[in-house]
Structure 1
Amino acid sequence: MLNALRPNRATGVARALPRETRDTLFVLAVIAWVVALQAAHIPWWTTVLTAGVLAWRARLALRTAPLPRWPWRLGLLLVTLAATFASHGTLLGQQAGVTLVVVLLALKTLELRARRDAFVVFFLAFFTLLTHFFYSQSLLTAAGILIALLGLLTALVNAHMPVGQPPLAQAARIAAGMALLGAPIMLVLFLLFPRMAPLWGVPNNDPAGRSGLSDEMRVGEIAQLALDDSIALRVRFDGGRPPPAGLLYFRGPVFGGFDGQEWRPLESGFARERRLSADLRPRGEPVGYEVTLEPNRRPWVFVLEAATTAPTLPGENRVRMTEELQWIAQRSINSLVRYRASSHLDFGHGPLQAEIGLQDYVQLPPGFNPRTLQLAQELRRQHGPGPAAAPALVNAALDRLRTGGYTYTLEPGAYGRHTADEFWFDRKAGFCEHIASGFAVLMRAMDIPARVVTGYQGGEVNGVDGFWTVRQRDAHAWTEVWLQGEGWVRVDPTGAVFPGRVGSLQRLRAPATGFAGAIDNFNPTLIAQLRATWEAINNVWNQWVLDYTQGRQLDLLRALGFASPSWQDLATVLLGVVIVVSLLGALWTLWERQQHDPWLRLLRRARQRLARLGIASEEHTPPRELARRATVQLGDSPATRALADWLLRLEAQRYARDSGTTLPQLKQEFRRLAWPARRAT
């Protein structure tokens, strides 16, 4: 019972407030929501300052106290400018501009006195809403902006109701109706407004970005990504049949340089001076698929090993393949992109015979990992020297991983200076980069060219939409060794330690604690199903909204019958739709007002009867004026006074707050009116 009374009590408190106080508090609440959407992308002091200003303004509204004088506002403005410059090093640009807009929106509420000031706040808030798309265009962001939009429209409608204290619920209903009426227009503009790069779209250059693979690999780095459940890419295989799980290697950066601590791409040496040819040799039938790649703030384009043709990215962002089979775009992937690719999962690449450039892939820094070097000498003595012994040496190292008590874990502890020694002899535990790094160091110590490859391995199918989902926790590191007569050969030593990581796609996860752990323990199957459904909904948003490009617009025109559509055709179709819809809307409005408004029909009948008596009028002549003309032209008589009184009550029924007369009563009286006679001229 008490819970049922709380909404009524809250409504009663709101009604008890003065109209100006109530409206001000509502506007402040909407602005707080707009700013809250930006909290993750603006400096911390911006959120604190904005919250303080809004709370101060709310306190002034509740106390009906005067607004602060101009020295206060000027001081806060100077503080904002100084703090913005200190945070961004400039007052110009996207980041600084968004910071200033957010704070200025809050500061403007300190001079919110008249309707004119309210309109400035409203439209500044509308502009601030658009800046959210600089950072995210996800479905959640769109939902949050829609809530803010409805709140601002409600405040705008309420501001156009100057009389009395209309309930906010009434303004909200009108605002929702306006939004629904505008939805078809929005849909037409979305489908047909020409997307001409680079004018179309919202730039997304947030340097923070989401976590992902790096252009260097320090032991322990990918283990952090294993805890990130965010989506890296989605894949839809032709025919809906993915390849075997153990073959799903999405190739990323390749590291051939090792300084004892980090793996990096080769920047100098024989391989840079005399580049090794990729010499890709595909075998078997290719696998076709479509990739939806999330923003990674890098120029890396992920495809299955190994693609023979370049994926086509939207716009002019061309893609090329490096000698290490990595696909690189001209510009960083700062927004969601979708592309098709075709890969041969059975392939060979690299030189078949020894070349000078291979020497870089056996280089090791002096003074590191002495025990690993000694192990390499022992293995060489057992299996013999020379290129012919390389396959046996590789298998010996893999056998050691299988039988030597090595374990796969996300928490191996911090490694010291000799990372390979610690892995092979001390800890015997690690994640994929520990294993791949230690294996590559051992190979090089045995004069076998080796390098580390990073990317994503595996994934999981979404049972709702059938897309193969690859997450950041699927980030992986493996190795490639060069064998005479075969070229570069993929060797994944993690599979020797923990076969489930590569074969059946088992994953180690950090134990969930707190609220997340309680949810997982509640009903894991239900949670997994809800998550799959939500991700499928997000994927639909990505496919049909964020990735609705000019190419898909032209496909729409082809479906409409255009043989060779262009953006000029899009503009023509859009203009035609706008003209047709505008004409239909105008005709509908005219017909609806004339045919569906009973008050107008009754007024038209009265105007026709008055015309027979010689009283001319126009469509816009109000009943009050008709009553005056009837009195002047027909003379003072009981019938004329009754007619004039009826016309005045007809006007009051339409425009007065409480006229006391209903339209059916006026219709009955109209039929019983004794019309005066026409004056002789």
Structure 2
Amino acid sequence: MFNQLRNHLARLPRDSRDTLFLLVVIAWVVLPQVGNLPLWCSGLAAGVLLWRGWLAVTVQPLPSRWWLLALLVLTVAATLFTHKTLLGRDAGVTLVVVLLALKTLELRARRDAFVVFFLSFFTMLTNFFFSQSLLTAAAMLVALLGLLTALVNAHMPVGKPPLLQAAKTAGWMALLGAPIMAVLFVLFPRMAPLWGVPGDAMSGRSGLSASMQVGNIASLALDDSIAMRVRFEGAAPRQSDLYFRGPVLSTFDGRDWRPLRSGFPARMQPPANLQVQGPPVKYQVTLEPNNRPWLLVLDATPTPPALSGFAATMTPELQWLVERPIADLVRYSAQSYPDFRHGPPRQMAGLQDYVELPAGFNPRTLQLAADLRRDPRYTGANNAQLVAAVLERLRTGGYTYTLDPGVYGQHTADEFWFDRKEGFCEHIASSFVILMRALDVPARIVTGYQGGEQNAVDGFHVVRQSDAHAWAEVWLASRGWVRVDPTSAVAPGRIGALQRLQAPRGVIAEALLGNVNPALALNLRALWDAVNNSWNQRILNYTQGKQLNLLKNIGFESPSWEDLIYLLIGIVVLASLSGAAWTLWERSRKDPWLRLLEAAARRLQKAGINIPPNSPPRAMAEQLARQAGPQDPSALAVRDWLLRLEAQRYAPPGTTSTRLATLKRELNQLVWPT
């Protein structure tokens, strides 16, 4: 069947074959955008490309312009209905994809093809509006080579030149342009918005949220994507100390946990009163885009993280915030102190907010708190003793740590303490804090990430969305807020060792990966993470600061972006002069006419035509006619070129002949016999 398809494609006219190749390349360019486009746009693009391919295979006429006008009006209206505007990134990309697909229905002449080529190049760039990942870059490199191949193929003369020949030429073009691209990447000034496109604050996804409903962090265990990468200076802290602090949730309405209610008087909120001691832990964080204004740092960080372009502030609950959501990959340095204290050392009015509970929820948990208070063992017990009693209940009461505890009802704490006795970290933390508040112990929930694993390839600690965690803080007299992780009482391995619950594999994943050695799978993932991290650090994180540091290293005392431009101009001028000098030197060494003759002889030899040494153009044309046949169209074109080359040198004075520059250009466009 494959041979039949290949033979059928070989019998197609040149225009049909070239059109099919271009359609395949366009489909490859649009494919990564499917997840970002409206469903109707993806369906329309696929349908139009398939329709155009069918017209090419069956050699049918193209639709009339009235069809195109109707489709254009319909798609513009659909874009306006979907995005409520025709401006902006999402609406613009939708229109570009639609116009590219519709333009393929106008491929009647070379001019139309060139419009499609350059519209495809622009569409290729729009992929980077949504993702600058290594996979996206690799896919667009393939698309670039495909578009260059189609462009080179369109410039070739009549006949059926093999696509492989056009692909080789496109590859050489890309290789010759690579040094120029590298110089531009290194030296072209990073100046927004010229260099980058602002991220869309509504399109990203963050693993953590500004609120917590019992069950939503458990869903993050299904997400194995990377939240951030951390490189420690010196030895890394213990696994049990890796608490990366995120939102602090203090208000509970019976179902959702949220930060302190809006309008809470600032004078009433307990101050941070952060006190640190001991040596700091220094590290650098590469944070993935999350469209949240949060800087995730270890507990506790008294000084602002060093982050270019952002001003960071710390809340009284020790969370670091910036003034706008983080929509791009960012890198910052921080130093944290594992040995710290924070919060008011004595009882104050503001702590009352951390013992409030909504009426009508969790009556059995409230009764449990009352029973504990009446228990003779806890008569006169302080807050620390009550915390220890609840943790002991967690350790010995048959409670389990699970990814799938089922759907909790209205009384989440009651169900955990008395019915299910199983849950994920937020079930356990929420139930613990509710019971603490019922015991009149100020308590709150802290969300963030706990743990991470070190990549043996590059040494970075990789923190994934599946490492999202919720723990508690309780207030103790003379000590302030103290971290208590009730999950460690139920499942110590979750905190002290890298033991994570994993979602069960589906049927397809089990079939593909069921027999893969786990150690091999981990090593491959570590290698891929290291390659991705290298891309992030060296390419995506190549900022203007790094450019200026490069200038310092090569001798500039106080470099600026103007120095970058001067250096770039100097390199361009030097490269141009070097190229011109090379051209003049090469021309001085050999007659240009002889160079063309030798180039033609080499190409004929490569095509299998036996050319004796030192053959003149006419002898080469005659040898070509004998071996290739007098009716071969490509051989006829080459013979005509050889005779015109001969006339250019030996024609009588006054006879009009083809210019040498024209012959050189035509030589590169000839299709050689195969």
1:298 aligns with 2:292: yes
Q: Deviations over 1:538-573 (max 9, x none)?
A: 010000000000111111111101111111111111
Equivalent position of 2:356 in the other structure: 363
Q: SS state of the match for residue 218, structure 2?
A: helix
Moved more, 178-187 or 562-571: 562-571
In structure 2, the CA distance between the partners of 1:593 and 1:50, relative to structure 1 (3 Å rule), is: farther
Equivalent position of 1:308 in the other structure: 302
Distance, in Å, in 2 between the alignment partners of 1:206 and 1:24 is 39
For 2:558, the aligned partner's letter is S
Distance, in Å, in 1 between the alignment partners of 2:545 and 2:36 is 32
For residue 411 of structure 1, the aligned residue among 399, 404, 407 is 404
Distance, in Å, in 2 between the alignment partners of 1:150 and 1:251 is 45
Does the 8 A contact of 2:450 with 2:469 survive in 1? yes
Q: Deviations over 1:636-663 (max 9, x none)?
A: xxxxxxxx9xx9xx99997997999xxx
Question: Structure 1 residue 585: deviation in Å?
Answer: 1.9
Question: Structure 1 residue 397: deviation in Å?
Answer: 0.4
1:324 aligns with 2:347: no
For residue 537 of structure 2, the aligned residue among 534, 539, 543 is 543
For 1:174, the aligned partner's letter is T
In structure 2, the CA distance between the partners of 1:651 and 1:440, relative to structure 1 (3 Å rule), is: closer
1:580 aligns with 2:603: no
Distance, in Å, in 1 between the alignment partners of 2:464 and 2:63 is 51
What pairs up with 1:330-349 in 2 under 5 angstroms?
330-349=323-342
For 2:585, the aligned partner's letter is W
Moved more, 152-161 or 621-630: 621-630
For 2:447, the aligned partner's letter is T
What pairs up with 1:224-235 in 2 under 5 angstroms?
224-235=219-230
Report the identity percentage: 63
1:627 aligns with 2:650: yes
1:255 aligns with 2:278: no
Q: Which runs of 5+ in 2 are unaligned?
A: 599-643
In structure 2, the CA distance between the partners of 1:372 and 1:580, relative to structure 1 (3 Å rule), is: same
Question: Structure 1 residue 198: deviation in Å?
Answer: 4.1
Distance, in Å, in 2 between the alignment partners of 1:657 and 1:443 is 84
Does the 8 A contact of 2:416 with 2:422 survive in 1? yes
Does the 8 A contact of 1:455 with 1:476 survive in 2? yes
Moved more, 72-81 or 58-67: 58-67
In structure 2, the CA distance between the partners of 1:408 and 1:75, relative to structure 1 (3 Å rule), is: same
Does the 8 A contact of 1:211 with 1:225 survive in 2? no
Distance, in Å, in 2 between the alignment partners of 1:658 and 1:631 is 31
Number of residue pairs aligned between Structure 1 and Structure 2? 622
1:530 aligns with 2:553: no
Question: Structure 1 residue 269: deviation in Å?
Answer: 6.7
Question: Structure 1 residue 314: deviation in Å?
Answer: 2.9
1:265 aligns with 2:259: yes
Does the 8 A contact of 2:346 with 2:480 survive in 1? yes
Moved more, 77-86 or 393-402: 77-86
Distance, in Å, in 1 between the alignment partners of 2:89 and 2:669 is 51
For 1:437, the aligned partner's letter is S
1:143 aligns with 2:138: yes
In structure 2, the CA distance between the partners of 1:602 and 1:294, relative to structure 1 (3 Å rule), is: closer
Q: SS state of the match for residue 291, structure 1?
A: strand
1:95 aligns with 2:90: yes
1:122 aligns with 2:117: yes
Does the 8 A contact of 2:161 with 2:671 survive in 1? no
Does the 8 A contact of 2:157 with 2:671 survive in 1? no
What pairs up with 1:169-188 in 2 under 5 angstroms?
169-188=164-183
Does the 8 A contact of 2:157 with 2:669 survive in 1? no
Question: Structure 1 residue 464: deviation in Å?
Answer: 1.1
Equivalent position of 1:279 in the other structure: 273
Q: Deviations over 1:365-391 (max 9, x none)?
A: 1111111111111222335577x6111
Equivalent position of 2:207 in the other structure: 212
Question: Structure 1 residue 513: deviation in Å?
Answer: 2.6
Equivalent position of 1:380 in the other structure: 373
In structure 2, the CA distance between the partners of 1:281 and 1:154, relative to structure 1 (3 Å rule), is: same
Q: Deviations over 1:508-546 (max 9, x none)?
A: 111213232231432111111111111110010000000
Equivalent position of 1:564 in the other structure: 558
Q: SS state of the match for residue 300, structure 2?
A: coil
Return the TM-score normalized by structure 1: 0.87
Distance, in Å, in 2 between the alignment partners of 1:508 and 1:100 is 43
Does the 8 A contact of 1:122 with 1:156 survive in 2? yes
1:55 aligns with 2:53: no
Does the 8 A contact of 1:376 with 1:442 survive in 2? yes
Question: Structure 1 residue 204: deviation in Å?
Answer: 2.2
Distance, in Å, in 2 between the alignment partners of 1:562 and 1:354 is 58
Return the TM-score normalized by structure 2: 0.88
In structure 2, the CA distance between the partners of 1:597 and 1:345, relative to structure 1 (3 Å rule), is: farther
In structure 2, the CA distance between the partners of 1:318 and 1:199, relative to structure 1 (3 Å rule), is: farther
In structure 2, the CA distance between the partners of 1:270 and 1:210, relative to structure 1 (3 Å rule), is: closer
In structure 2, the CA distance between the partners of 1:523 and 1:390, relative to structure 1 (3 Å rule), is: same
Question: Structure 1 residue 279: deviation in Å?
Answer: 1.1
1:391 aligns with 2:414: no
For residue 32 of structure 1, the aligned residue among 24, 27, 32 is 27
Q: SS state of the match for residue 527, structure 1?
A: helix
Distance, in Å, in 2 between the alignment partners of 1:123 and 1:596 is 38
Q: SS state of the match for residue 526, structure 1?
A: helix
Q: Deviations over 1:239-273 (max 9, x none)?
A: 2x211000000000000100010000012475645
Does the 8 A contact of 1:624 with 1:651 survive in 2? no
Distance, in Å, in 2 between the alignment partners of 1:652 and 1:503 is 71
Distance, in Å, in 1 between the alignment partners of 2:14 and 2:345 is 84
Distance, in Å, in 1 between the alignment partners of 2:665 and 2:222 is 70
In structure 2, the CA distance between the partners of 1:384 and 1:162, relative to structure 1 (3 Å rule), is: same
Question: Structure 1 residue 312: deviation in Å?
Answer: 2.4
Does the 8 A contact of 2:240 with 2:451 survive in 1? yes
Please provide the CA RMSD for this pair: 2.6
Distance, in Å, in 1 between the alignment partners of 2:654 and 2:199 is 71
Question: Structure 1 residue 34: deviation in Å?
Answer: 1.0
